Structure 1
């Protein structure tokens, strides 16, 4: 049995690949630039560009299962190629924004919903993963923290329930297993809702020094973040954060139900990656 892992350079895809490799599965890793993957020995490599459907058939040929990212414009063709290849089960990495209030007008939710709709129309056996905010989003603060500068962000009291990327990968691997839960949508969160200030406070406690916070106005955030975040995505993020100021978000028990272990905390994530925030 061959399992295709797309996005094998990404924070989730690489974790999925490494776990499946350690378990002894036959694997194929794909990327737009496969020569840059650096996969473990014995892992097949294929070129797959989510915006170029002509790359789909070769990458999927002979695959029995697949862990997929997708882009709306190529999703229908990607899932059709998977069906032609005889893929028996797909695990799709989507987003919890699809199930949030106001999803029908949210650009980020609509992006992922279009992919989910294409998957549902394909009749492939599938599990859809909808993670909330990644704990790794905190890397965005690392440069300021390392240099002793204030963390500059809008809506500092906005809540997320940051989910550890290892937990997302663990759930994905379980969903690719022999007892893969077909036809299910799994919403993943961390075990606790935390404001951005609380997350920064956890980092400060581990580093044993104060981390100052400078709260940006929305307009300042647009000007600062708009340099590297596409406008529709930025609007979606700012609206989500504004709506969750002083409002804890709903936490799910999905990670524990699927994997059998409690979801990792943000503190565990911070401990795992503390070196990225430590001063030289």
Structure 2
């Protein structure tokens, strides 16, 4: 079997590749700039820019399955080329935002829904993985700590279900290698529903330092992230955080049903990434 892994430099894709190689599967690591970084031994680097249909034919030629990131801009062209290449199965990295309240109005949900809908009307069997918040989202806090020494949060009491990226990768591996798991949609979560302040406490315990934060208005937060986050995405995040402020999220057991083990805790992730939070303001850090 040959599997094309898009987003191969991402946290999930890079964790999935060695699992597939360990199974003896032919792996193509796809990115807009193949070979940077050098793919693991046994994998073949190919150019596949999900925004550039000209890169699709060569990347998909001979592929049996695809691990697909949810890039909507050229999804119809990608599906058409995958069908022509004879791809039999796509495992899509979608988002739990597509099943949340107000999904059609959310910019984050809409991009994932667009891809899910394009795949739903194709001839290719599709398995949708719908994770909630990535535990690695917390790495964004290190920049604030290094620059100002504190984290700005508009909703410290907002709940999420942070999931370890390796659990997502292992779920994708199971879906790609176990035929009985194909064709379904799986809502993936971590094992706990935690507020931002509880996640910060876990980071403090792991890093052995105080991680100060302050509550700011949604407007102030949106202005502060404006240089690097589109307004629509910022509004979608603020809407989600407001809706889940003081409201625990639903936790599922789909990680365990797919992988055979319970989902890793956020404390486990924090311990593995503690070095990212041990720097002082103005220091380069060690992410």
- Work out whether residues 207 and 271 of structure 2, in 8 Å CA contact, stay in contact via their aligned partners in 1: no
- Matching residue of 1:106: 106
- Matching residue of 1:179: 179
- Matching residue of 1:246: 246
When residues 202 and 120 of structure 1 are mapped into structure 2, their CA distance, relative to the original with a 3 A threshold, is same
1:31-110 superposed matches below 5 A: 31-110=31-110
- Inter-partner Cα distance in structure 1 for 2:174 and 2:254: 12
Matched, 1:199 2:199: yes
Q: How much has 1:147 moved relative to structure 2?
A: 6.8
Query: What secondary structure does 1:246 align onto?
Result: coil
- Per-residue deviation, residues 152-203 of structure 1 (Å, max 9, x unmatched): 1211111101000000000000000042523211111100000000000111
- Work out whether residues 70 and 111 of structure 2, in 8 Å CA contact, stay in contact via their aligned partners in 1: no
- Matching residue of 1:155: 155
Q: How much has 1:140 moved relative to structure 2?
A: 0.8
Matched, 1:190 2:190: yes
Matched, 1:270 2:270: yes
Query: What secondary structure does 1:229 align onto?
Result: coil
- Work out whether residues 107 and 232 of structure 2, in 8 Å CA contact, stay in contact via their aligned partners in 1: yes
- Per-residue deviation, residues 131-150 of structure 1 (Å, max 9, x unmatched): 10000000011134457812
Matched, 1:234 2:234: yes
- Inter-partner Cα distance in structure 1 for 2:55 and 2:238: 35
- Inter-partner Cα distance in structure 2 for 1:147 and 1:232: 25
Aligned length in residues = 280
- Inter-partner Cα distance in structure 2 for 1:194 and 1:63: 40
Matched, 1:139 2:172: no
- Inter-partner Cα distance in structure 2 for 1:242 and 1:34: 40
- Work out whether residues 174 and 180 of structure 1, in 8 Å CA contact, stay in contact via their aligned partners in 2: no
- Matching residue of 1:121: 121
When normalised by structure 2's length, the TM-score is: 0.94
Query: What secondary structure does 2:74 align onto?
Result: helix
- Inter-partner Cα distance in structure 2 for 1:250 and 1:159: 10
RMSD of Structure 2 on Structure 1 (CA): 1.4
- Inter-partner Cα distance in structure 2 for 1:119 and 1:180: 19
When residues 146 and 231 of structure 1 are mapped into structure 2, their CA distance, relative to the original with a 3 A threshold, is closer
- Inter-partner Cα distance in structure 2 for 1:174 and 1:77: 27
Query: What secondary structure does 2:152 align onto?
Result: strand
- Inter-partner Cα distance in structure 1 for 2:36 and 2:85: 25
